[in-house]
Amino acid sequence: EVQLVESGGALAQPGGSLRLACSASGFNFNIYPMSWVRQAPGKGLEWVSAVNPSGSTTYYANSIKGRFTISRDNSKEMVFLQLHSLRVEDTAIYYCAKRSDYGAFFDSWGQGALVAVSS
Amino acid sequence: ETVMTQSPATLSVSPGERATLSCRASQSVASNLAWYQQKPGQAPRLLIYAASLRATGVPARFSGSGSGTDFTLTISSLQSEDVALYYCQQYNDWPPLTFGGGTKVEIK
């Protein structure tokens, strides 16, 4: 069974930093691209970032480009999202998501990590 | 960027009746469209991919159709457990991957 478990969510101040982690199990992690998707309170889903299986190629939404960094450690079966220069509008639940075999959509999701940015 | 627009924002349907949800893309996404269901307090769950293929374990009352710019998710006979938010997502042209704003399905 595929399991994705996020951690690292917390309350941060504007301008601050956080690091989210996603621990994966139940599938061959090394061959799957992974993404982060976020959901602001009461709002819809917003794709944030993706990383290819080797970690050599990354993609970002314009709203976070230059502030967030995605990475992965295949030996630990983990994917990370480093958040810098946080803004109030970054407040959201951040989901780790596994890409499907059949295209850039998501067949498994974690339970989410809450990031709250407030002074 | 491909903008996805869902309608209506809220859909009230009686139990056992049909629910029809729409998703429109600002440019063609071919059949590269997925639908997700999100219940309160839960992560999204994949329902449909490639516009019309049901994901593993999804009940047959859920069906998807469409191609190009116009797509439909149909729940043939609404059950109480289908009360949720439903999102479409295009994966034809990215980055960015883009989602629609969602349709809330409620029981009338």
- Chain A residues near any Cβ of chain B (below 8 Å): 35, 37, 44-47, 50, 59-62, 95, 100, 102-107, 109-112
- Residues near B100 by beta carbon (within 8 Å), at least 6 away in sequence: A44, B4, B5, B6, B23, B87, B88, B89
Give the residue from chain A lying closest to B53, CA to CA. Answer: A102
Q: Mean of the per-residue pLDDT values for chain A?
A: 97
Q: Cβ of A107 and B43 within 8 Å? A: no
Among A46, A105, A110, whose Cβ lies nearest the Cβ of B34?
Answer: A105
B33-90 pLDDT, tens digit per residue, is 999 999 999 999 999 999 999 999 999 999 999 999 999 999 999 999 999 999 999 9
Q: Would you call the peptide bond into B96 cis, given omega within 30 degrees of 0 as the criterion?
A: yes
For residue A68, list chain B residues with Cβ-Cβ distance below 8 A: none
For residue B71, list chain A residues with Cβ-Cβ distance below 8 A: none
pLDDT > 70 in chain A, percent: 100
- Chain B residues near any Cβ of chain A (below 8 Å): 32, 34, 36, 38, 43-46, 49-50, 55, 87, 89, 91, 94-102
Q: Cβ of A61 and B95 within 8 Å? A: yes
Under DSSP, the state recorded for A76 is T
Tokens of B56: 């593993």
Confidence band of A2 (pLDDT split at 50, 70, 90): very high
Q: Mean of the per-residue pLDDT values for chain B?
A: 98
Q: d(Cα B27, Cα B48) in Å, to the nearest integer?
A: 20
What pLDDT, on the 0 to 100 scale, is given for residue A108? 98
Tell me the average pLDDT across A10-25. 98
Pick from B46, B31, B22, B43: nearest CA to B100:
B22
Tell me the average pLDDT across A45-62. 98
* C-beta separation of B70 from B88 below 8 A: no
What pLDDT, on the 0 to 100 scale, is given for residue B27? 98
What pLDDT, on the 0 to 100 scale, is given for residue B73? 98
What pLDDT, on the 0 to 100 scale, is given for residue A81? 98
What pLDDT, on the 0 to 100 scale, is given for residue B5? 98
For residue B89, list chain A residues with Cβ-Cβ distance below 8 A: 45, 105
* C-beta separation of A50 from A39 below 8 A: no
3-state DSSP assignment of residue B64:
strand
- A84: burial class by Cβ within 10 Å (0-12, 13-18, 19+)? middle
Under DSSP, the state recorded for A34 is E
